[in-house]
Amino acid sequence: MFSVEFMPPRDADDEQLLWRSMRKLEQLGPAFVSVTYGAGGSSRDRTVRTTSRVAQETTLVPMAHLTAVDHTVAELRNVIGWYAAVGVRNVLVVRGDPPGDPNGEWIACADGFTYAEELVSLVRELGDFCIGVACFPCGHPRSVDLDTDTTYLVRKLRAGADFAIAQLFFDADDFLRLRDRVDARGCHAPLIPSIMSMTTPRTMDKTVELSAATAPTALLERLNPLREDPKAFRAEGIDIATELCQRLLAEGVPDLHFITFNRAQATVEVINRLGLLPADALETTPEAVTPETVSP
């Protein structure tokens, strides 16, 4: 089983790209589609609008992101109520990063929340939602150590979350060790790994930034020599993503969550290699087997 993640569009061109990719991936039957909230909660209105369209105009199951950044409890109640009104019953709850500087000091909004577990409790109180939270295979940048980070994750899950989606990572063992730590605490909620194909140097650099981890030497040795060869870099990036997924599936991880950057092709190719594509989808996406262009 797999799911996919999109970002709300910034302009008309972005919107066309998003919906072309959305319709292409709709054919493949993902378990759900998530729509991010943007850095610092900056794209709230676009997230709400896009998630609403997914719920009302597609066959996809939408999952909306929700952060506590710069929102009072009253505002959060309104957003949650709006989601429920348009038929969105799945919410990914994250505290969010400080606006302007993701690594800056966290300052709670007046009449707002400080911790994600508080927001989980609010969503659970307001309706029959399926709630996800974030987890960090390499530890949250603000956590003092992995044990403390695991404690906070378990608290979020026990506050009412049903599952957790992992931040990006490079090494399958980092995710598997996180799964073991959570399991050792007597908490057995599903943990879902996030996957992003590093099809360009930019996406590789972004993965490093989002993972808050140092890229393994072996990975850099495979990709860095190809930075000036877009086609070769892309092919190697697809290979690396596929290998990571294969290892996770072999270790009993039942679900994969693909970060798309609003483009479908790389995700289609990896899913196809893993044998997760329905047979009829191959008839409508021949480029999944023999791509004609170099694209993310």
The token duo for 57 is: 């105009």
Q: Is 117 a catalytic residue?
A: no
Contact 283, 27 (CB under 8 A): no
The token duo for 98 is: 């400080």
Alpha-carbon Rg for the chain, nearest whole angstrom, is 19
Alpha carbon distance 37, 66 (integer Å): 6
Strands (E), the chain: 2-6, 33-35, 62-67, 90-94, 130-135, 163-166, 191-192, 194-195, 256-259
What number of helices (H) and strands (E) belong to the chain? 11, 9
Q: Of the residues 5, 117, 118, 269, which is catalytic? A: 5
**Pairing outcome for strands 62-67 and 194-195:** unpaired
The token duo for 176 is: 């598997």
Residues that are catalytic: 5
